[in-house]
Amino acid sequence: MALDRITLSRFRNHADTALDGARGFNLLVGENGAGKTNVLEAISLLAPGRGLRRAALPEMASDQGQGGFAVGASLAQHDGGEPVRLGTYTEAQAPSRRRVRVNGSEASAVSLGEWLAMGWLTPAMDRLFMDSAGARRRFLDRMALAFDPSHARHATRYESALRERNRLLADERPLDPAWLDGIEVQLAEHGAALSQGRIATLGVLSTALEILPEEPFARPLLDYDSGGPTDCADLAAALRDGRKRERSAGRTLTGPHRADLAVTMAGKAMPAANCSTGEQKAMLIAIVLAHAELAAKGRPGVLLLDEVAAHLDPLRRAALFDRLRSSGAQVWLTGTELAPFADIREEAAVWEVACGAVTRM
C-alpha cells in the first residue's frame, strides 16, 4: 500500500491543495518559502505525534486556528482493494484539539500508527547529536513508534504520571504515600514499557547497521543510557526508595525521561558529538535509512526527506537513491531545483510548489 490523493485544506499557506498519482519517489520542487516543507508536515500528521515541526496545532491553520485545517489521504492497496481513507483535522471551536478519521469513522491519533510507519529527516535534525537529550529521546521514540504503535500510548501516559508525581514532589504540603504509590505504579508500568520499546528498537537497528560499510555513509554504533531500571518492579522500587531525595530536588530523577541515545562513529571510535558536521549528517542518514528499511517490512512505510539531496556530493546522492529505491518505503523529497534528482527524475512523480499552490510537472 502507498499514499495517494493527498489533500491539504487551510493548512499553513496551502488553501486547497491536492496531490494525485503519487509514486515510490515523489519530488516537491520550488523556491524557499513556497510551501514544500508544509506538504511534508501535513503528511507527517498522518502518523501519531506532533508532526515533523512539533508545532502547536493552531499554528498549522492558515488563519492561525480560527477556521481549523484538514489533511487527508488515500492509502492505496496493491491488490486493488478499496483504499483506506485517512484524515486528521482541527475545528474552529477547538483549534488545539486534533481529531482523526479512518474510513470516515472517528479514531484516535495513536491508531494512525497501525496503518503507516512514518519517518523523516529535516535540516533541523542535523544537530541532533549536539542537541539536548530530550531531542534524542524524541528521535528514538519516533523510530520505536514506527515498529509498535502502542509506544505512543505508553509515552503519553508516562508523561502524564510524571507531571503528577513532580507536582506532588514540589508541593510543600506533606506527601500522601498512598497517592504516590498509585502514581508510581503507573509511572513504573509505562516507563518500563517505554524503555523496553526503545531498547528493542535499538537492537534491531544496531543489527542492521553492523553490516553497513564505512562508506559512502559513516557507520554509527548505537547505545542507550536508560536513566534508571528498565524492569517494572525495579523501577517502582527505585521511585519509592528515591522519594526523600527527589522531594528535595522537587522532581523525579529516575526513569526513561532521563535517558539518552549515545552514538559513536565506528570508523574513528569517536562520539558523534565530536565528529565533523558532514560525518554527523552521514551517520544520521545511515540511521534513518536503516530504520526506514526495517519499518517498511511491517506496515506501509513513508519517509519524508526535506532538503537532503542538495547537501550531498554526487556519489553519496547516488548511494542515497539506491538505498531508498530498495527500502520498500514511499519517499517524499523536497528541493529548490530538479538537478540533484536527475538519477530518479524519470521514475518519480514531480510537483512544482509556488506560493502554496502545487502543479504536476
Better-predicted residue by pLDDT, 15 or 312: 15
Torsion on CA atoms 60, 63, 65, 69, rounded to nearest 10 = -60
Res 313 pLDDT > 90: no
Is 156 assigned to a binding site?
no
pLDDT tens-place string over residues 145-161: 999 989 999 999 999 99
Res 213 pLDDT > 90: no
Res 170 pLDDT > 70: yes
Whole-number pLDDT of residue 1: 62
C-alpha to C-alpha distance for 136 and 126, rounded to whole angstroms: 12
pLDDT tens-place string over residues 239-278: 999 999 999 999 999 999 999 999 999 989 999 999 998 8
Quote the pTM value: 0.91
pLDDT tens-place string over residues 99-155: 999 999 999 998 999 899 999 999 999 999 999 999 999 999 999 999 998 999 999
Is 356 assigned to a binding site?
no
Whole-number pLDDT of residue 77: 72
Region 41-52: what's the mean pLDDT?
95
Is 334 assigned to a binding site?
no
Q: Pick one of 2.60.40.790, 3.40.190.10, 1.20.1050.90, 3.10.450.50 as the CATH number of 150-295.
A: 1.20.1050.90
Sign of CA dihedral 108, 72, 310, 312: positive
Burial class (CB in 10 A: 0-12, 13-18, 19+), 355: exposed
**Residue boundaries of the structural domains of the chain:** 1-116+299-361, 150-295
CATH code of the region 1-116+299-361: 3.40.50.300
Whole-number pLDDT of residue 217: 82
Is 49 assigned to a binding site?
no
Whole-number pLDDT of residue 79: 66
Region 15-21: what's the mean pLDDT?
95
Question: What confidence category does residue 78 fall into, taking pLDDT thresholds of 50, 70 and 90?
Answer: low
Question: What confidence category does residue 190 fall into, taking pLDDT thresholds of 50, 70 and 90?
Answer: very high
CB-based burial, 131-170: b 16+ in 10 Å, e otherwise: eeeebbbbbbbbbbbbbbbebbbbbebbeebbebbbebbe
Whole-number pLDDT of residue 208: 93
Within this chain, domains 1-116+299-361 and 150-295 share the same CATH topology: no
**DSSP H stretches of helix in 64-127:** none
Is 33 assigned to a binding site?
yes
Region 216-237: what's the mean pLDDT?
94
Is 34 assigned to a binding site?
yes
Better-predicted residue by pLDDT, 22 or 299: 22
Region 45-61: what's the mean pLDDT?
94
Mean pLDDT for all residues in the chain: 93
- % of the chain beyond a pLDDT of 70: 98
